[in-house]
A and B are shown apart, each in its own frame.
Chain A
Amino acid sequence: MALEQVENSVEQMKQMMSYISHKVITRKDVKIDEDTPLVSSGLIDSFALVEIFVELQAISRRKIPASKVQTKDMDTVRLMFVTAERFGKPVQ
C-alpha cells in the first residue's frame, strides 16, 4: 500500500472513531481504538450499526452493498475499513 493510502486510511479510521465516540456511544467512560470490539462486546446494537454503515460509506467514499456485509465484518473500526475495501466500489 502506498504511503498516501496508508495515511488516508489512518485518517479515515480516526474520523470513524470520532463519529462512533461522539454520535453513537457518547459515554465518557468508553474509549475506543481501531481494534475495540463494538458489536460482539455489546457497545453498539444492530440499529446503531446501520447508522455506522451509512457513515462508513461516506468516510470511505465507497458504495458498499449491504447484502454482502455481516455484523462480524463491522465489529471493529479496522474491520469496517477492510470491509469497505473488500466490497465497496469507489464513488466519484
Chain B
Amino acid sequence: MSFSPRPTLISGFLRSLRAHHNRPALELGEALITYEQLWDYAGRIAACLRERLAPSETVVALLANRSVGAYGGVLGILASGRGYVPLNPKFPLERTLLMLNASGCRTLVVAQESAGTLQAMLPELSQPLTIVSPDAEWEVNSTGFDPHTFINAQQMSKVADPCHPVVDGKATAYLLFTSGSTGVPKGVPVSQSNACAYMNYAAEHFRINASDRCSQNFDLTFDLSVHDLFTCWDAGATLCPYSEQTLTPATLIGEKGITVWFSVPSVAMFASKLGLLSQGAFSSLRWSLFCGEALSASLAAAWQEAANNSVLENLYGPTEATIAITSYRWDSRMSAAECEGGLVPIGWPFTGQQVCVVDENLQAINPGDTGELCLAGSQVTAGYLNDREKTAKSFVRLPHTGDEVWYRTGDLVRQDERGCVFYLGRRDFQVKVNGYRVELQEVDLALREASGSELAVAIPWPVSNGSATGLVGVLSASDPAGDEGVLAACASRLPRYMVPQRIFHFEEMPLNVNGKIDRAKIAKMIAQQQ
C-alpha cells in the first residue's frame, strides 16, 4: 500500500468520499453518518462560502461542538479553500470574542447546539459578521441584529462539487489559540503544508485503514483533534466521538469497538481510577496514542496490559509544531528501565523533522546535558498571529544551523547518545492541567485584576505523576471574604480548566534568590496545609 502526498488537509477526506461513500465517516451516539451524508452537509457550507466570500477572507470561524455541524463545518470551511478557526461554545464569552476579533474572521459558521452562545454573542460583536447556520431545523433569531448578515439552511440548498480546493501551501488550514502569558490568547496559524507534512507522516506510520474505528476525544480547539479527524477520514475509517454524557471516554473502547485510541494521559489515569485497566480489557485497540502531557511509566505499563493487542506510543509536540513531532514506542520488556523520573521518554523526531537541544546562548549541547528543546522542519509553523515580538522570541535561527528557523519550545530536555529525548520540565511558567496548556501568568493576571492585589499567583495543584489536575490561586494577606468574587471574576474570562479551584492566603509570599515569587515553595506550603 502506498500513500500519495496530499495537497491540502481535506484531500484525504475527498479521496475517501470517492472510494467509500457509503461507509460510515462518523458515529455519533447511535447515529451513523456516511461519507456521502457528511459531505451533503459540508458541501452546502462549501458552496455557500465559495459563492459569497471574498477571496480576501482566508479564515472562517466555527462555533460548534461534537455534532454533524461541528465535523461538517470543519470540512465545509476547508473545502471552500479557507482555514477554520474553532471556537468552543463552552468557553467564557469574553474569551471567545477575543479569539474571534483576533482571528479577523468576518464569517462564522454556527451549529444548532451553539444557539445559546450565539444569541449571547450577537449583542457583543463589534464588527458586522456573516453568520451561516446550516442546520435545517433551526433558524437564528436575528431580530434587532441588522448589521449582521444571516444565511440559513433554506438559502444553502446547493452542494459543492467535492473537488480539491486550490490553495497555496502557506495558506492557513486552521488557526488555534493557546494560553498567552500577557493575558491575551496567542493565535497559532497552521498552514496547509504544515498540516499535510504531519498527515503524510501519520498515514505512513499509523497505516490506519477503512475498517478502523478511531476515538475522538479532543475538543476542536485543541490541535490534537486534527489528528483524530483527518488520520481517520484519510483512511476511510469511522470517527467515534465520545458523548459528553459519558462518564469517561475510555468506556467507549469496549462499547464501540474502538481500534485507534488517542488521548491525553489524564484520561488514561481516570480509566485506571475507575478500575477499567484490567488485563485485556481494551483488546480491540491496535493503536494506543498519548500526547499533550507527561506520560508516567506506571500508567503506560497498566494501559499496555489492558490494551494488550495495541502498539503504545507517547507522542510529543506543541501546537507551533503541528500536532506532534516526536514519538516513543513503549516496549513492555525494556521501556520501564529507559524512563527517567518515572516518565516515558518523548523519543525521536518524525522522519523529516529535526530536534536540537541548546543552552541559554542557543548553542547545541552535548548528549546527556540538560537544555531547551528546539524544533525545525516542515511541521514547524511560521509564527504567531499578528505578533512579531513573540514570534521573534520563539522562532529563531540557531548559530550553527544556517538559515533554518527553529521553534524554541521552552521545554527542558535531555537527549541521550541514541538521540532519544527525555522531557524534564519547563523553563518558564507554562503548565499542563489535565492536558490543557496553561500559561500561569495569564491566570496570575486574572487573579491580580480580580483581587486588586499585586501579589497574586496561580499554582498547579494538586499534582500527581508529574501532571496537574487543577490550579489554585494564592493571594498575599488579603481578606478571604473576597474569594468568591475573585473566583467568579476569573471564571468570567478564563476557560474552566484555567480557573483556580480555591484561594489560599499567605501572610508573606516566599521569594526566590532573584526576588521573584517562589512558586515551588508556595506549592510546598500548600501541601503542608493539607
Contacts and interface: CB of A to CB of B under 8 A. Distances in A.
A5 interface: no
Interface in A15-30: 25-29
A47 B270 contact: yes
Given A53-B274, A66-B276, A28 B483 contact: yes
Nearest to A51: B273
Interface stretch (B79-87, B113-121, B208-216, B239-247): B239-247
B248 A66 contact: yes
A46 interface: yes
Nearest to B491: A42
B81 to A, nearest CB: 36
Contacts of B244: 46, 71
A82 interface: no
A67 interface: yes
Contact of B502 (A27, A46, A74): A27
Contacts of A45: 496-497
B22 to A, nearest CB: 30
Contact of A67 (B254, B266, B502): B254
Nearest to B496: A45
Contact of A27 (B248, B266, B273, B483): B483
B278 interface: no
B255 interface: yes
Contacts of B245: 70-72
Contacts of A53: 247, 274
A26 B501 contact: yes
A49 interface: yes
B484 A29 contact: yes
A67 B487 contact: no
B247 A74 contact: yes
A70 B243 CA distance: 9
Contacts of B434: 47
Contacts of A25: 501
A58 B469 CA distance: 21
Contacts of B501: 25-26
Find the residue from A26, A29, A47, A53 having the highest chain B CB count within 10 A: A47
A50 B487 contact: no
Contacts of A10: none
Interface string B240-274: 00001111100100110000000000100010011
A3 B453 CA distance: 53
B469 A50 contact: no
B116 to A, nearest CB: 13
A69 B483 CA distance: 34
A66 B274 contact: yes
Contacts of B247: 46, 49-50, 53, 66-67, 69-71, 74
27 contacts: A26-B501, A26-B502, A27-B484, A27-B487, A28-B480, A28-B484, A29-B483, A29-B484, A42-B496, A45-B496, A46-B244, A46-B248, A47-B266, A47-B270, A47-B434, A50-B273, A53-B247, A54-B273, A54-B274, A66-B275, A66-B276, A67-B247, A67-B251, A69-B247, A70-B246, A71-B245, A72-B245
**3 nearest A-B pairs in the assembled complex, by CB-CB distance:** A29-B484, A67-B251, A26-B502
